[in-house]
A and B are shown apart, each in its own frame.
Chain A
Amino acid sequence: MSEAILDIPLDSTKTAINPVEPYLRMDRMPHIWCPGCGIGTTVNCFARALESSGLNLDKVAIVSGIGCTGRVAGYANLDSFHTTHGRAIPFATGLKLSNPELQVVVYSGDGDLFAIGGNHFIHAARRNMDIKVICVNNLTYAMTGGQTGPATPTEVISATSPYGVFEPSFNLVQLAEAAGASYVARWTTYHVKQLSRSMEEVLHKKGFCFIEVLSPCPTLYQRRNKMGDGLDAMKFYKEVSKVRHGAPTSECALTRAGEIVVGKFVDRDRPDYLELLNRQMTATLGDRYATPEVTCSEG
């Protein structure tokens, strides 16, 4: 990716525009996220990935579910959809299939994508639907007050596990690989350059792509567990993260305080849903097959 570099003269920094601004709805700032929350950092990386992707951004759409990360769609200066809880992926599926020239990004949280929306995630991966899923994993339901989620590690305290979480959590990257994702990576908000590069990479990759980003939640996850503030989480990521590209995802489960394996784990080519559909219909119907023209005309 290209570094965001502005050639600015010394005296004009006060009027210079932040290079991410064209990619955001600046009329909606400040955003709702807490001080020290990492979601904004992931959005920052996403804006830079959009910039360096060279894509026509009129043809990039973003779809979010509900929750803190669910608000990302509302801040991206793209065609953007804030849908219902857990259903960003099936909405994105309809959007992509009706208008295949769109690059459709799903941007949502761990609770939204893997608890209420878990079924949609595995099926979209199975179909190799050509959508890019970015999951900001803050290990909790933050918007509703810090309840236990499908990615909350055992032994932490949450609003609904006041005596400690005892149920096992999902290893999101393993789940994604097993379900059939074409691309699987994990970073933390400490790894801004790598994260941005991964985001740019999936914007050019066909098929179901998944990036998990571990992100601080000082207000609702860390506070209850005496884990300090957002900066403490960032320092923790720096300390315990190990980059292991191609690591078996089965070895990448997260724990409360253990090592965080980051890197690109899966990058494979499988025919995506539309390719399979076209192939099957052409094989069985031959000339009778009409390539889908789904959008309706005006008047």
Chain B
Amino acid sequence: MAKGQVAITVERCKGCGFCVEFCPTHVLALSSAFNSKGYHPPHVVSGEKCSGCDLCGMYCPDFAIFGARHAR
């Protein structure tokens, strides 16, 4: 089971791709879908690899994503 997971606020995203690029375990990819502003937000492609490190959250310029570890 994954150690953590990410939460994405799709409507805040401006599609910069920072979270996708710098996720150490490659959990994310940009979606082909649009949000209402016309940006492609990230979506989880390998959720089982998420460590909950929250690096995606630190990189996000739009406060649209964060990662968290599961309670043990």
- In the complex the two chains form, is B58's CB within 8 Å of A193's CB? yes
Shortest CB-to-CB span from A127 to chain B, Å, is: 34
A26, B12: Cα distance in complex, Å: 11
B61 touches which of A5, A19, A33, A235 (Cβ 8 Å): A33
Measured between beta carbons, the chain A residues less than 8 angstroms from B17 are 230-231
- In the complex the two chains form, is A234's CB within 8 Å of B22's CB? yes
A35-B16, A41-B18, A44-B63 given; A8·B70 CB < 8 A: yes
Residue of A nearest to B37 (CB): A30
Shortest CB-to-CB span from A5 to chain B, Å, is: 5
Shortest CB-to-CB span from B44 to chain A, Å, is: 10
A44, B21: Cα distance in complex, Å: 17
- In the complex the two chains form, is B63's CB within 8 Å of A21's CB? yes
Number of interface residues of B (CB under 8 A): 30
Does more than half of chain A's interface fall in helix, strand or loop, or is it mixed?
loop
Q: Tally inter-chain residue pairs, CB-CB below 8 A.
A: 107
- In the complex the two chains form, is B58's CB within 8 Å of A44's CB? yes
- In the complex the two chains form, is A4's CB within 8 Å of B61's CB? no
- In the complex the two chains form, is A16's CB within 8 Å of B22's CB? no
- Is residue B55 contacting chain A, with contact meaning CB distance below 8 A? yes
Q: How large is the interface on A (under 10, 10 to 19, 20 to 34, 35 or more residues)?
A: 35 or more
B 29-72 to A, binary, CB cutoff 8 A, 1 in contact else 0: 00000000001000000000000111101111111011011110
Shortest CB-to-CB span from A239 to chain B, Å, is: 13
- Is residue B9 contacting chain A, with contact meaning CB distance below 8 A? yes
Q: A35-B16, A230-B16 are in contact. List 17 more A-B contacts (CB 8 A).
A: A3-B54, A4-B54, A4-B58, A13-B6, A13-B68, A18-B65, A21-B63, A29-B12, A30-B14, A30-B62, A31-B62, A45-B58, A189-B59, A193-B58, A231-B16, A234-B18, A234-B21
Q: Which residues of B contact A (CB under 8 A)?
A: 5-7, 9, 12, 14-18, 21-22, 39, 52-55, 57-63, 65-66, 68-71
